Structure formats: structure tokens, C-alpha cells
Chain A
Amino acid sequence: MGDEVVLLDFWPSVFGMRVRIALAEKGIEYEYKDDNLRNKSDLLLKMNPVHKKVPVLIHNGKPVCESLIIVQYIDEVWKDKSPLLPSDPHQRAHARFWADFVDQKVYAVGRKLWETKREEQEAANKDFLETFKTLETELGEKPYFGGETFGFVDISLITFYSRFYLYERFGKLSMEAEFPKIVAWAKRCLQKESVANTLPDQKKIYEFHMKWFGLE
């Protein structure tokens, strides 16, 4: 006993949300510290000097950085409850591959939708649609990316659901029309307490981004 768990995070961060979901899945008690990324705390700079980013999990004083690395760490340390990764090595590799795909693609293609100049909007939309099409295909008829149970890949992607309204506004598209399976999957994930209690409302995220990036 006497585990001290602190999470340095920023409430709209899709990466921080992954860690919050993982902690909730495992029923781990922790102290949440919100760090505004335009005014970084000394603690953040000390705990993540290399990247100076959230989320950082501080476990008994020792920092773990990078959201997917943190989620794996949580799974390995608190291994007696709610496994987040499958036990079979091949399935684990499959999960790591797809979570890595989400990391490599989803954040960037989403951001391009509002960062891009008018001339490049069509290309940005195309990349976005292709990326989510790949995910829709990978999901297929499965209830979750991991199969029957909610797991690592689901955690890596579901946090982006909070940005769907933002994507729809800037991409001038309907996520439900384009990716019905993904939207159905997201709603299924939202039935889990860990996800429902973590994901901020889509409108709130939209308003935050409008202010943060001066898009109004």
C-alpha cells in the first residue's frame, strides 16, 4: 500500500485522456494536476525535461512520459485487474501496431483540417478521410478494435471522439455518414464509465480550440 500516483495533464489533451481512461479502468486512485500548456509548471518542466509535455504520470515520485508508454506501464504494474493489452504476443503486437498507427496519423490529419490554407484544404480532407477509412476497415464488424473487449487500441483512439465535432465543422463532413462503424464503436465505448467520465463534451472541445488557436 502507499502508492502515490499523480497525473500531470491538461483537460483538453487527447493524450492525457488516454491515461485518465486507463487509470479509471484499473480503479487507481490518483491526484490530478491540470497544467496549462501556455504556462507550464515547474513540476512539469522537472518531470518531463525532454519534451515538456503532458501527460506525465508520476508514480511514487518517478515520472513516466508519453501517453501510450504510460498506458502500457499502468497495465504492467497494476496487472491483476482489467488487462488493457491481450496476453497473446501476436495480438499484443497487433494492438501496438494499431495504437502506433493512431499516433502517427490521427492527431496530424485532424489538426491539418483547421491549420491548412484554403488551397490545401482538399488534400487535407483527403488525408483525413483515408486515415479514418483505414481505421473503419480495421474495426470491421468487431465490437472493439481488440475484439470482444475494450483495450489498448480503443483507448488510443476513443479520446479523439471528443474532437469529432471540430473535425465536422472544419472538414465540412459528417463523421457518422462517412464512418458509421467508427461512430457506433465510439458510442459503445462511451457506455463504459471510464470513458464517459473522462471525455469532455464535443462542443466544449470545439469552443476551446476556437479560442486556443484564435480560429473565431
Chain B
Amino acid sequence: MAEEVKLFRNWAGPFALRVVWALQLKGVPYDTIYEDLSEKSSLLLHYNPIHKKVPVLVHNGKPLAESLVILEYIEETWKQTPLFPEDPYERSTARFWARFGDDQLMPSVFNVFIKQGKEQEEAIARAQGDLKYLEEELRGKKFFSGEKIGFLDLAFGWVANLVSVFEEIQGLTLIEHEKYPLLLAWIQNFIDAPIIKESWPPRDKLITKYRARIEFYSSKEAAKK
């Protein structure tokens, strides 16, 4: 039976990357359709009318949105190379940390790089507190999922992918070596993993793109005063 898997994504998006990694790790063939988010295609709007965002996975004509939802779908549909823990309790823990990453850590990290002055200091304190949880979760483990890369590593992939980009743009180190030795080791192990490495977006392009993004949000923040 011919399976048709299409992924709508933008080239830099951290959420889409999770889906790319999951599909690659499971060896699922798929086609990529790159979207320019400033001018969304009518096909994307048809497949994701609610949020109008990427990534969208279309499997045999049926669309799915929201990266964490897509990862669960991929796991349930293609059972080779399991990415989720088998035990329900461990699964619930992984889901908890993935949500924490998206709902709390991501905004607190982004704030570090767009706020200034006292607000930035507070943002740094907040983000470093949040990052401490990740450091503790890695105790005794090579990856968040254990010996091998799994769901939670993919969910936290943006930490490996984007934070050093932001750090370079703003000349500010958030993930300090003395405070986060395990997290930095994980970042290196994650980046070096064969399948992950192949899908890494080019760093110089990321810097250009996020420099513009950060400048845009920073000036919005400054204008609020």
C-alpha cells in the first residue's frame, strides 16, 4: 500500500524540526513542502484552518497539527524505533516536561534575549531557574530519554538548536558551564547524533533570521516604556 506522508514546514522552525527528526529516526519516507510564513499557501490554510501554522503532517490526505500531537501520532503509527517510554508513568513524566519546555521554558528563554536592563536580569534569573530542572532531569542519563534519543530529547531539541544562536547574537551566555555541565554535555551529544546532525538548519542562516527577529521584539519591548 502506498503511503503518502507530507510535511509542511518552514526551514528554521524548531517545532517542525521535531517532526523531521522523528520521521528520520523511524525511517519514514516523506515529502517536504516549505512554507513562507509571511505568505501562507492556500493548501496550508486548508490543512490547518484553526491555527494556520506549521508544522502540519498530512498522512494519506489526512492533516494533523501541533508538533507534540504529531509526535504521538508518529509513534503510534510507525512502531519501529520507539521514541516514547513504555511505562505509563514514565510517559506521563515525559509529556509533563515537554509541556513545561513549550509553555514555560521557551518564553522565559526568549525573554532573556529581548528584554533589557532590570527586566533582563529578572528574565535571566527566571530562565536559569527553569533550566535547572533540565539539568536535574539529566542526572545519571546521557539523553533525557535514557541511553538513546527519544521523545523528550526531540521536544527539547530547540534548546540545543537555538539557544547558542541567541547567545551569539546578543553576546550573552545563558547556559553557563559551571551551572549546567550535564545540559551542555547533552547538547553536544544531541548535536553529534547522526540523524539529528543531518537535519540541522545552517547556523549562519539561523543567525541572520533570528537577529532580525530578536531586534524586532527588542524594539517592541523598548517601545513599551
**What residues of chain A have their CB less than 8 Å away from a CB belonging to chain B?**
50, 59, 62, 64-66, 69-70, 72-73, 76-77, 89-90, 92-94, 96-97, 100-101, 134
Point out the residues of chain B lying under 8 angstroms from A94, CB to CB: 64
* B69 cross-chain contacts in A, Cβ below 8 A: 93, 96-97, 100
B88→A73 contact, CB < 8 A: yes
Inter-subunit contact A100/B66 (CB<8 Å): yes
The 8 Å CB contact of B88, one of A50, A76, A100, A134, is A76
* A to B CB contacts below 8 Å, 17 in the list: A50-B100, A62-B89, A64-B89, A64-B96, A73-B88, A73-B92, A89-B76, A90-B64, A90-B73, A93-B69, A93-B72, A94-B64, A96-B66, A96-B72, A97-B64, A101-B50, A134-B50
Contact of B95 among A62, A72, A97 (CB under 8 A): A72
Chain B residues whose CB sits within 8 angstroms of the CB of A100 once the complex forms: 66, 68-69
Docked-complex contact B91 and A90, CB < 8 angstroms: no
Q: Determine how close the nearest CB of chain A comes to the CB of B100; give it in whole angstroms.
A: 7
Number of interface residues of B (CB under 8 A): 23
Query: Interface code B93-114, partner A: CB below 8 Å = 1, 0 otherwise?
Result: 1011001100000000000000
Residues of chain A lying within 8 A (CB to CB) of residue B64: 90, 93-94, 97
Partner of B73, one of A62, A70, A76, A92: A92
* A101 CB contacts on chain B under 8 angstroms: 50
Q: How far is the CB of A91 from chain B (nearest CB, A)?
A: 10
Interface string of B62-77 (1 = CB under 8 A from A): 1011101110110011
For B95, list chain A residues within 8 Å (CB).
66, 69, 72
A75 and B45 alpha carbons, distance in the complex (Å): 33
Q: Taking CB as reference atom, which chain B residue is nearest A93?
A: B73
A97 touches which of B65, B91, B96, B100 (Cβ 8 Å): B65
B141 contacts chain A at the CB level, 8 A cutoff: no
- Hey, which chain B residues are within 8 Å of A134, CB to CB? 50
A contact residues around B88 at 8 Å (CB): 73, 76-77
Closest chain B residue, CB of each to CB of A77: B88
CB of B133 closer than 8 Å to a CB of A:
yes
Q: Which residue of A lies closest to B89 (CB)?
A: A62
Q: Is the CB of A76 within 8 A of B100?
A: no
Closest chain-A Cβ to B190's Cβ sits at a distance in Å of: 23
Selected from B62, B66, B77, B96, the residue in CB contact (under 8 A) with A66 is B96
Rounded to whole angstroms, the CA-CA distance of A94 and B69 in the bound complex is 8
Q: How far, in Å, is B38 (CB) from chain A's closest CB?
A: 23
| Cα distance A69–B72 in the bound complex, in angstroms | 13
